[in-house]
């Protein structure tokens, strides 16, 4: 059983930790974060305002956490010992030099949860063959766009595309107006607002799929919604087709090569129906069409944290092999 360590405790690392504890096919052995007491960490893991109570027993004991028969070491970011962790989930490092400093042993592998310029990036299902000892999994919306673009480009060819990401509120989202110098708009109160935010999805896809470089442009907005966002895509295709053929290709992909990665629905659903879903993207066939044979409109839902957490653990399983 693979032993996992977490470096930095934020929203995504909380979700990943809960997934590890609940699935029980890996062992969480260490969580590193500054000024975070084990008792409070246990509380954060036990309860979640969106996903509910933790499905598993967890308690604090002598400054660490006990989960079943396993001990989860709780320590500062500066602590060198990883309590035997073989795979590190890094929620802090944004470049390769930082990530290398996190690893304390040569045999350790690392998965970064941040967009990075120089850490090799993997979108699960798109470029799995590029997995190295240190990789980044990017962000959820970029993964969703990448998986869909991979399938559409393979079967129909993509000349160009426009992406619109509607993102759920996240950790940095302001409950009330606050100072936020990096991006002034992100400092505005989310309740009752739609906040334009930088769109990193298209650049992430271009990094992972060189054939998409210069073809995709996007915009992004943060909304006062929980967990589940949507990506809207408009592709100009290389080959003539109709919407029925596109749907057939996507449904087939969801049942075979992209099973567990791509979801597919033709029901009258809303975003709340997908809270807790782990697929990277879930195609909603009721929100799409083909115009003039070559202009394709698609929409997909994604649970930002659960989907990315699942992909992080998919990559971790490759390291185990």
Mean predicted lDDT score pLDDT of the chain: 95
pLDDT at res. 35: 93
The domains spanning 3-119 and 140-304 adopt the same CATH topology: no
The model's pLDDT over 221-268, given as tens digits with 9 standing for 90+, comes to 999 999 999 999 999 999 999 999 999 999 999 999 999 999 999 999
The model's pLDDT over 110-139, given as tens digits with 9 standing for 90+, comes to 999 977 889 999 999 999 999 999 999 999
The model's pLDDT over 71-98, given as tens digits with 9 standing for 90+, comes to 999 999 999 999 999 999 999 998 999 9
For 143, phi then psi, to 5°, come to: -65, -45
Q: At what angle do helices 304-320 and 11-23 cross, to 10 degrees?
A: 60
Write down the domain spans for the chain.
3-119, 140-304
Query: What is the Cα–Cα distance from 166 to 287, expressed in whole angstroms?
Result: 14
The CATH code of domain 3-119 reads 3.40.50.720
For 40, phi then psi, to 5°, come to: -70, -40
Q: Is 15 exposed, middle or buried (0-12, 13-18, 19+ CB in 10 A)?
A: buried
The domain defined by 140-304 folds into: Dihydrodipicolinate Reductase; domain 2 (3.30.360)
Q: What is the DSSP string of 94-109?
A: -SHHHHHHH--STT-E
């Amino acid at each position: 059983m693979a032993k996992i360590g977490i470096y930095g405790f934020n929203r995504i690392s909380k979700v990943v930790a809960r997934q590890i504890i609940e699935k029980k096919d890996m062992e969480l052995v260490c969580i590193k974060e500054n000024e975070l007491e084990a008792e409070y960490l246990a509380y954060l893991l036990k309860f979640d305002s969106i996903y509910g109570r933790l499905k598993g027993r967890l308690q604090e004991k002598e400054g660490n956490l006990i989960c079943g028969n396993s001990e989860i070491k709780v320590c500062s970011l500066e602590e060198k010992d990883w309590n035997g962790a073989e795979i590190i989930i890094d929620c802090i490092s944004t470049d390769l030099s930082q990530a290398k400093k996190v690893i304390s042993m040569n045999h350790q592998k690392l998965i970064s949860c941040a967009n990075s310029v120089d850490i090799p990036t993997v979108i699960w299902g798109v470029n799995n063959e590029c997995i190295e000892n240190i990789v980044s999994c990017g962000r959820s919306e970029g993964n969703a766009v990448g998986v869909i673009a991979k399938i559409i480009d393979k079967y129909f060819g993509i000349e160009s595309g426009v992406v619109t990401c509607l993102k759920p509120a996240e950790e940095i989202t302001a409950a009330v107006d606050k100072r936020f110098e990096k991006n002034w708009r992100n400092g505005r109160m989310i309740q009752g607002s739609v906040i334009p935010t930088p769109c990193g999805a298209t650049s992430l896809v271009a990094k992972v799929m060189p054939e998409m470089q210069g073809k995709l442009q996007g915009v992004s907005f943060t909304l006062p919604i929980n967990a589940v966002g949507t990506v809207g895509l408009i592709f100009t295709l290389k080959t003539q087709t109709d919407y029925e053929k596109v749907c057939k290709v996507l449904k087939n992909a969801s049942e075979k090569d992209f099973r567990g990665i791509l979801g597919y629905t033709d029901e009258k659903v809303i975003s709340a129906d997908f809270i807790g879903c782990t697929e990277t993207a879930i195609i909603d066939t009721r929100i799409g069409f083909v115009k003039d044979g070559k202009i394709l409109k698609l929409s997909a839902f994604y649970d930002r944290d659960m989907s990315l957490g699942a992909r992080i653990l998919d990559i971790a399983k490759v390291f185990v092999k």
